[in-house]
Structure 1
């Protein structure tokens, strides 16, 4: 069971997120918070697997709360769920250590998928947000990002392209008619072959190499 903490200053939003999370057989809402101060205390109390964090809240905002939570619980997986996707909010949250970033207009099934991905160690990003992160990183570090990839099998290349487009393992498995375990094996092989340590860096390499 994936234990989730909901952090949002709007009671109606929290109620909707709770209904969605509790409708899934493998997800359980263990607590709620309406601001950053409450969020820090709630993580201390409940030790959730995943925190769904709003950004704009009174008292202490989500970015500050993210940094304080991670200072106390370095392995906490905080996924931002917000209306605002401007650079200030996006990169501020990522700099604070947010594990993923979703927009509130995401489909309900995408949010549940993000919770599962975060719990499984797979940082979730809305596809539009991932493209912006990768695009900005490519521009800032163009000279140091390799533009060629090590030899890949055709299937590894297929997986890499879909990963760089923002798809999770379950989506990739469905699109390529593979098992999720097989996709995880391919992702692990891609990480090893490229010498990278996370999916965002793999996506960056795919963009720099011209696969998209």
Structure 2
């Protein structure tokens, strides 16, 4: 994983012995987030995302059932954090909403937060309908208990269908219409993969309370 090539010296920047390595889970969204963070110019030398990103396979990437059955939110973060603790990476990249709030920061680690993105959820309906226009029985895909609870109260006529997978997978499910007719997901996630134009409605916070840590990346080091 590590690059042991001789570092380059830059004016007033000391010596870089190797690129700084960022670990993240294997979801395409995480890779897009890593590219976003590495797009900021560095002088000198420039940093390349393909040198920095270290994909880490997590239980959450592989599991298709309810997260509560395999340990909750930590299934997306523990293996990535472990990569830093084991010295395989210098920095762990997470979505803050995936980080468990009841676990202390590992000893000798700190967490950094870049600028926060949009916190709101969005509806994606291939037919272009808004949430209030969906007829009774419309199958709306989401596995977030937060969204299910709110939609059950505000739109009890909808059929809420649990779906797992990355944003691309969920969009594909809505497009094919085999298991769901529409999906609700994080607007920030759509933007990071360049598909924000597919959102048919942005759900303001007074209609859909955002999740804790929504739109916020977190970097452990």
Select the structure that is richer in helix: 1
- How high is the TM-score relative to the length of structure 1? 0.27
Select the structure that is richer in strand: 2
Higher RCO by CA contacts (8 Å cutoff, separation 6 or greater): 2
- How high is the TM-score relative to the length of structure 2? 0.26
Q: Name which one, 1 or 2, has greater alpha-carbon Rg.
A: 2
